[in-house]
Chains A and B, each alone.
Chain A
Amino acid sequence: MDRRDFMRTALLAGVLPVAGTVPALAATPSLKFRELYVRGNELTDKAKALEGKSVEMVGYMAPPLKPEIDFFVLTKLPMSTCPFCESEAQWPDDLVLALTKEPVSVVRYTDLIRVTGRFETGFKKDTETGFVSFVRLVDVGYEKL
């Protein structure tokens, strides 16, 4: 499925609202990156309360390894290897793993996206990729802002 097909499917399925045409998911609580943790990986009361619920988060899709993906990493700021900041890939502590229902296309890592999905917490290792995550959004859809 290319990105346009995904967008169409998502729109038909009501997963992917387009700003101005579909009302925002008013009932879906939004969760900011800075509302995830009190300190380290100690979750805030708000984050704990949203466990298992559908939430919206706004962030950036970190550059994935392949063009079509069924998961991506959502970051607070665009994730890239800044020539004067990082001599190696240094992942931030507050990234969120986003798992999609179906394969989706990649957006540029500097495009702001709003992601909606079921909020899960707790360490989990993906058996296929070996990727260890602590905070996840499951069955996500996203819209580009």
Chain B
Amino acid sequence: MTKLASALLAGASLLAASQAFAQEALPQINDSYFKQAEAELQKIIDRKPNTGKAKNVILFVGDGMSIPTITASRIFDGQKKGVDGESNKLSFEELPYVALSKTYTHDAQVADSAPTATAMVTGVKSSNGTIGVSQNAKYEDCSTVKGNEVTSIFEQAEKAGLSTGVVSTARITHATPASTYAHTVNRDLENDSQVKEAADQGCKDIAAQLVDWPAGNGFEVILGGGRSNFMLESQADPEAADKMGARKDGRDLIKDWQAKYNDGAYVWNKAEFDAIDPAKTGHLFGLFERSHMQYDTDRAKDKGGEPSLAEMTTKAIDMLSKDEDGYVLMIEAGRIDHAHHAGNAYRALQDTVALSDAVKAALAKVNQDDTLVIVTADHSHVFSIAGYPKRNNPILGIAGEGDDKKPYTTLGYMNGPGAKLDEQRADLKDVDTQDPDFLQQALVPLGESETHAGDDVAILAQGPWAHLFQGIVEQNMIYHVMAKATEMASKPQKQASAQ
């Protein structure tokens, strides 16, 4: 061995020794946080991107599930379970790949759910209030629907012979689920009585679009709320004899759906839902409320009984996974958004936990090697986590005191029903801010509804091509990853996609 080689070897071993020494010498090496982060790092180092074909796709949408909503919900969930809330993890926090989604729309800084859902399932941005149409369609101008329809990945999947499903705790005709099948310039046209003269101008109500959906053999699974949009005004609701259906056009859409599917089952309550055997049922249609399904907080008190989002998810996967060609499924936790609009954080957080339970149920059922699972939100809300509350402080509790010597809560809203009109804010000294019905205080009084927000939302994913979610991306990229993963673009199309 030459002197140089010896010196180099000696130097190398010295370097290795000094590195080892330096690491061993770190005073924090046995610190619990340090070790936890090392373990997390190793998991990431061991991660292998999956470039196989996605047989199945499940798109979970937490409507209005902003990043503070996720943070607050994990703390809420942990504290309810009696574990450390701050380090608790919701099920979807375990998904390996993450990106941020830019939610602005073709015509707005702050989006509503119609164009954002359209972006996710069709790959284009469009105008607020419109569903399943391109940027060329104009809000409320029914003459601009025709020729501007865009094709959703659900329509592509049906045409390619896959199975499809749509599940929501909101009305199934509400913007997010409607994006999978509807094409309209006004999200509010959920039943024919809302369309009126717009019918002559080219608009068709969303409920009728669902039942008449021409793609393939139709959704194998439809589960959600919004029963009145499918029932005639002469038909009494099964849960309330004094409440009637909404339709004036003489079309009993539930009956129409039943006539369309010999292998189908329609259900409207939990007992009927539980009795469904997926192996013996080809198509499943469940409408569990006249309007939206109950908040998860209130679900147990529902007269007819409602399945949880996790139960609907499990049933949907059991139904769809019979198809050897695969499936595309949307599952929406639609009422996180509604609770935020009401300025009621408790129900928003509980519905986020219900989404976490649904994702957990899905992950337990699917083969992660062939199923792309995505969890995201359509837009944010003006909801924040404020002050300097101590670790383990109740997430719904008091964070501190303002200059007005009144307590303020950790959670609050920039605007909404929680603001007083031309009055000083309430003193919360003797108020139970952890009560499920408490409305967090807000700055700007908007009694009818707290608003959406324009900040980016999270995309979390696992499975084939999930690693394509990285960085800060446009929301409509979600479609493109789903299409790439499923090789949907190469599937034969009976008709070309609209531009």
Contacts and interface: CB of A to CB of B under 8 A. Distances in A.
Given A77-B437, A82-B341, A39 B302 contact: yes
Contacts of A78: 342-343, 417, 439, 447
B342 A77 contact: yes
Contacts of B301: 34, 37-40, 94
Contacts of A128: none
Contacts, number: 81
A145 B430 CA distance: 11
Contacts of B240: 93
Contacts of A46: none
Nearest to B297: A34
Contact of B421 (A32, A37, A77, A108): A108
Interface string B288-308: 001110000010111111000
A108 B344 CA distance: 18
Interface in B171-223: 175, 188, 190, 194
A82 B338 contact: yes
A76 interface: yes
Given A39-B302, A39-B303, A87-B194, A82 B421 contact: no
B332 interface: no
Interface in A71-107: 76-78, 80-88, 90, 93-94
B420 interface: yes
A85 B419 CA distance: 20
Interface in B380-436: 417-421, 426, 431, 436
The majority secondary structure among interface residues of chain A is loop
B338 A111 contact: no
Interface in A103-132: 108-112, 132
Interface in B442-481: 445, 447-449
A126 to B, nearest CB: 14
Contacts of A111: 420
A77 B448 contact: no
Given A82-B448, A110-B417, A110-B447, A77 B290 contact: no
Nearest to B442: A110
Given A40-B302, A84-B341, A110-B417, A34 B436 contact: yes
15 contacts: A37-B301, A40-B239, A78-B342, A78-B417, A80-B417, A80-B449, A82-B448, A83-B448, A84-B113, A84-B175, A84-B337, A85-B338, A85-B341, A108-B421, A112-B426
Given A40-B302, A77-B344, A87-B188, 8 more contacts: A34-B298, A34-B436, A39-B300, A78-B439, A82-B342, A84-B175, A108-B447, A110-B420
